Every structure is written in structure tokens, then in C-alpha cells.
Amino acid sequence: MPKKTVKDLELKGKKVLVRADFNVPMKDGKISNDNRIQAALPTIKYVLEQGGKAIVFSHLGRVKTEEDKAGLSLAPVAERLGELLNKNVKFVAQTRGEELESAVDGLSEGEVLMFENTRFEDVDGKKESKNDPELGKYWASLGDVFVNDAFGTAHRAHASNVGIASNVESAAGFLVEKEINFIGGAVDEPKRPFVAILGGAKVSDKIGVIENLLSKADKVLIGGGMTYTFYKALGKGIGSSLLEEDKVSLAKELIEKAGDKLVLPVDSVVASEFSNDVETEVVEGDVPEGKMGLDVGPKTVELFAKELEGAKTVVWNGPMGVFEMSNFAKGTSDICEVLAKLDDATTIIGGGDSATAAQQLGFEDDFSHISTGGGASLEYLEGKELPGIAAISDK
Ligand code: ADP
Ligand code: MG
């Protein structure tokens, strides 16, 4: 990897700033899912084992006004982190100031401190989210080195990632390193055949991903709601399926440009309403008037399975159907199964809903990598440079 990783840093006795992604779901002041805290443990533990003094921080939610701060303190996260590390985590309820500075100065090797939600700085002029140069410089001044382990915010240039990295030696944490190796590896130097599966709701959300992956992959399989904008471009009937009228001509262009690289569904599971409580049927080709396509059908799964045979790299973004409703989850679940059975392939899921689908349908452990960053993984798949990663020191 061209960027420094935490293993490239001298950590002993150093004040190590660790930007984690602790943007955890909260309900009534309690953490409802601590996956993200668990995911940050390897990096934090490594820093402590090496004799570093860890200063950990993150954003949580969106903070616009003074009132927003109420439910968004990181105090419960600090407590949970302490339980998971089996160690006292000193929490400072500030994002800057004397109390924070003296707590940092008082740290011994192997100790952990956490400070308050970085977005509390947004109340007064969006200093965090607009990457206020003074704020990044200030946070950088609290430490000797900086480890960025927050992949979920890597597509944003904020003070707590890009701002700090611009002022002090920095490195990727283990989570960020893993994301770069898997997603970056797949997109930039894939083992071939490389097949991309793209679904989800809208073409408009995925234009960048479709275009980038059409230029890199050997096959691009399309599913989900965007199918019907492509169908429309081919003059097929789509009934009342999801359609983006203003993207039909783009879909036409993509079909012409891609030729047989682009593979569309051959059948759909349809219903008369967007509901789990109405009858469904499988139709081949055109969707009849009064019906909407809400999942790919069994022949499509068969076709996609054939296209995936022998694939060495598979990148998947966007569910094949409305997986949130059990009647329309089968296409997504069947494709998960096909991927689970591929020998010797690197299989990667990027995208928030796709990751949720794989987890909910019980395939969490069957992929080589499920990205932890929804928006960030999408931008990465679009081939965009992620500012949070670009700012990390080169090796
Ligand atoms: P990701 O978050 O993985 O990038 P998207 O946000 O693009 O994925 O798409 C996820 C959504 O697409 C899901 O909520 C799913 O219900 C919806 N979807 C999938 N297929 C269809 C369809 N045929 N019609 C309408 N919505 C669909
Ligand atoms: Mg989504």
C-alpha cells in the first residue's frame, strides 16, 4: 500500500491521535449496536500494546444547534469502549480547551482518553465539517502522530481527518487499510474475470459506479429497481415499475457503449402494489401494465450464476430487489448464495443497504469483505479519490 499504516509508525511513548468511526446507532441514550466500536478495537489495542498513549475521537450524528448536542455526547461510547478494552477510558466532555490539554499531558503509556463528539464544533460555524484549518491544526497539536481508522467518513474532508493529517505524520488504521486493500485492490488491480453486480433503487444514484465499473470489469450485471430504466431504453414494457424518465437516454448510451458486457435481468417478480401483502408472480421480459417489478426472477439468478462462474473478483453494490419485504428478498438472497459458493474468488460488498441485506439474510460470513462505509465505499467504487485517504502520509 502506498500509504503509511499504523505499523509504519513509531508509537512508544507517543501521544497517538486515533480517529475512529463511532457513529453508532443510539436509542434513548443507549448504544443499540456496538459493531463499530468492536471494529475499532484492533487498531486501538495495537497502539496501546506498542506503548502509545491513545487519544480517541469520532463524530456522532449530525449537530447543527446547541440543542442537538443533548443526545449526541460520546460519553456512553467511551464507557462501552472501556468495557470492551477492559480498561479505564478517561472521557473529556470537551472538543478543545485546558481540561482536554492537561488530560492529554497526564496520559501514561498504554492509557486511553476519549474526547467529545467532533461535530460539537459544527454549532459554531461548521468548523469540523468544513475542515476549518485552525481546528485541524489545534487537534493535530494535541498529539505526536495521527492514525485514521474512520473509513466511513473518508469521502469527506473534515477537520478530524483531513485537517489533522495535513499537520502531523499520519497513517491508516487496520480498518482503513483493509478497505483500501479490498475495494482499492478490486477496482485498480482485480484478478480476472472481474464481475460487478449493481442493483439498488435508482440509476441516478449509481451513474458514477456503473460508468467506472463498466470501464474496469469484464461483466456488469444489473438488477434492482434500476433495471426498468434500462428496460425502458430497450423499449420493453415496465408496467408501473420504478422509472427515471430523465435517465432513459443515458441508459440507452450505456447499453450501446457496453455491448454484451452489460447483462440485464430476463425475468422479474412482480406485484400490483409496493407491498408484501399482495399476490406476486414471475414474468419473463416485459412487465405487464398495472404491475411493478420488485425483484429479479429465478431465470435471472440462473443467468447471473452462469456469468459469475469462474469469477476471481466480484464487487456487489445494490440489492437485487426490495429485500426489506420477504416476498422480494429471494433474488438478493439467491445471489448471496451463488457468491458464497464461488471458489477462489474475492467477493466484496459495498453500499449501506447491500451490507444490511447480506447481514439480514444471513450471509455475513460468506463474503471476503463487507465494507463498513456506505457512502465512502460507493465513492471509492466510482473511482473517486477519497480525501480522508489521500491526506494520509505516503510511505
Ligand atoms: P446501497 O445502499 O447498497 O448502495 P441502494 O441505496 O442503491 O443500495 O438501494 C437499496 C434500495 O433499493 C433498497 O431499499 C431496495 O428496497 C431498493 N430496491 C431494490 N430493488 C428495487 C425495485 N425493483 N424497485 C424498487 N426499489 C428497489
Ligand atoms: Mg442505500
- The closest residue, in CA terms, to atom 17 on ligand 1 is 201
State the pLDDT at residue 124: 87
CATH code of the domain containing 49: 3.40.50.1260
The binding site for substrate comprises 21-23, 36, 59-62, 119, 156
State whether 313 and 372 are in the same domain. Answer: yes
The reply to whether 386 falls in a domain is no
State whether 232 and 131 are in the same domain. Answer: no
Q: In a structure prediction context, what are the per-residue pLDDT tens digits for the chain, which is 395 residues long?
A: 789 999 999 999 999 999 999 999 988 889 999 989 999 999 999 999 999 999 999 999 999 999 999 889 999 999 999 999 999 999 999 999 999 999 999 999 999 999 999 999 999 899 999 999 999 999 999 999 999 999 999 999 999 999 999 999 999 999 999 999 999 999 989 999 999 999 999 999 999 999 999 999 999 999 999 999 999 999 999 999 999 999 999 999 999 999 999 999 999 999 999 999 999 999 999 999 999 999 999 999 999 999 999 999 999 999 999 999 999 999 999 999 999 999 899 999 998 899 999 999 999 999 999 998 888 999 999 999 999 999 999 99
State whether 118 and 71 are in the same domain. Answer: yes
The residue to mutate among 229, 353, 354, having the most atoms of ligand 1 within 8 angstroms of its beta carbon, is 353
State whether 76 and 199 are in the same domain. Answer: no
Nearest atom in ligand 1 to the alpha carbon of residue 355 is 3
End position of a domain, from candidates 110, 145, 172: 172
State the pLDDT at residue 127: 97
State the pLDDT at residue 128: 98
End position of a domain, from candidates 148, 172, 196: 172
**Measured from the CB, is residue 143 less than 6 Å from ligand 1?**
no
State the pLDDT at residue 59: 98
State whether 55 and 103 are in the same domain. Answer: yes
115 burial level (CB within 10 Å; 0-12, 13-18, 19+): buried
State whether 57 and 122 are in the same domain. Answer: yes
The reply to whether 136 falls in a domain is yes
Strand 15-19: give its sheet, edge to edge: 89-92, 112-115, 53-57, 15-19, 145-148, 170-172
CA distance 164 to 150: 13
The reply to whether 395 falls in a domain is no
User: CA-CA distances (angstroms) from residue 142 to 7, 31, 374, 388?
Assistant: 21, 28, 30, 19
User: Distance from the CA of 183 to the center of ligand 1, in angstroms?
Assistant: 21
The binding site for ATP comprises 206, 293, 324, 351-354
State whether 136 and 190 are in the same domain. Answer: no
**Measured from the CB, is residue 223 less than 6 Å from ligand 1?**
no
Dig out the grid coordinates for 115 from the structure.
474526547
End position of a domain, from candidates 145, 172, 199: 172
* Residue-number span of the structural domain to which 89 is assigned: 6-172
H or E element: which one contains 48? helix 35-49
State the pLDDT at residue 343: 86
Count structural domains, the chain: 2
The reply to whether 394 falls in a domain is no
State whether 352 and 316 are in the same domain. Answer: yes
State whether 242 and 334 are in the same domain. Answer: yes
The reply to whether 389 falls in a domain is no
